[in-house]
Amino acid sequence: MIVNKVEICGVNTSKLPVLKNSVMRELFMKVQQGDTAAREKLINGNLRLVLSVIQRFTNRGEYVDDLFQVGCIGLMKAIDNFDLNQNVKFSTYAVPMIIGEIRRYLRDNNPIRVSRSLRDIAYKALQIRDNLVFKNSREPTINEIASELNIPREEIVFALDAIQEPISLFEPIYHDGGDPIFVMDQIGDEKNADGNWLESISVKEALRKLNDRERLILTLRFFEGKTQMEVADEIGISQAQVSRLEKAALNHMKKYM
């Protein structure tokens, strides 16, 4: 019989325990009395929670083992700060703390270096944002956050933009069952509007081999720098169709170049 076994940090995830709410409550009461063994049981009994959280971060190129360890730090903080008197499930309380710990790790290990002062402003703004959401039950405006911190609105916007994670140009943003549409397909290139490609005779000849619609799409996309959405609106077809026709036209041109 094949056993579905996946090890992360030496932990066999297929054998992780699941604790009942009644058992969890008993363990938390013991933890509050300083029982370290009960704390260990709570950690091991909630590792599946960490696994469920890190799944949303596994497409960022980080090692799963690293994310798991960071998530466990968030879990331990949640266990140490959880209040049994609050009418809330532990998982509801712990998940945001685990996510927050992982996000801090990803921001601090971002390959794009951001100054410490900018990061500090951004983290304070995020903390104020969470406080205002809890207080007002709605998403605060940038002006409200700036007012709380007594910092100009522009500095808040700049700091929050600085800690955003970079997105790959090949990140898929739409998929209709056919060819996916990537971020790069949404970016216009205004610098490419000077007709540099037309200086190549081989390109001219290859373009002549295309039908009128394919030639129009490539002209709008690469010579006029328009996005696929703009091309789709102009010629009256869907963006997915533009994407497929564009790829087919480029492959067709390669045969004659």
pLDDT (tens digit per residue) in 85-141: 877 888 888 888 888 888 888 777 766 566 677 778 888 888 888 888 888 888 888
Coil, strand or helix at 165: coil
**Beta bridge partners of residue 11, listed in sequence order:** 8
The answer to whether residues 182 and 173 touch, using CB atoms and an 8 Å cutoff, is yes
Q: Rounded CA gap, 137 and 16, in Å? A: 36
Structure tokens at 157: 């916007």
The answer to whether residues 79 and 40 touch, using CB atoms and an 8 Å cutoff, is no
Same domain, 177 and 243: yes
- Residue range 11-54, pLDDT digits in tens: 665 667 778 888 888 888 898 888 889 899 988 888 888 888 88
Residue 1 domain flag: no
Structure tokens at 44: 């091991």
Same domain, 116 and 33: no
Domain of 85, in residue numbers? 7-109
Same domain, 133 and 75: no
Q: What predicted TM-score, i.e. pTM, was given to this entire model? A: 0.44
Amino acid at residue number 21: N
Same domain, 12 and 45: yes
Structure tokens at 224: 């006029």
The answer to whether residues 146 and 156 touch, using CB atoms and an 8 Å cutoff, is yes
Q: Give the list of residues 6+ apart from residue 210 with CB closer than 8 angstroms, or none.
A: 218, 249, 252, 253
For the domain that residue 152 is a member of, what is the CATH number?
1.10.10.10
User: Would you report the helix, strand and coil content of the chain in percent, each value rounded to 5?
Assistant: 65, 5, 30
Q: Rounded CA gap, 174 and 194, in Å? A: 30
Q: What angle do CA 243, 246, 248 make, to 5 degrees?
A: 110
Residue given tokens 């709380």 in the structure block: 148
Same domain, 69 and 19: yes
Question: CB atoms < 10 A from the CB of 148, how many?
Answer: 17
Same domain, 97 and 28: yes
pLDDT of residue 148: 92
What phi and psi values does residue 190 have, to the nearest 5 degrees?
A: -70, -25
**Beta bridge partners of residue 7, listed in sequence order:** 12
Residue 128 domain flag: yes
Q: Rounded CA gap, 255 and 253, in Å? A: 5
Flag the least confident range among 151-155, 188-192, 253-257.
188-192
Split into its structural domains, the chain has a count of 3
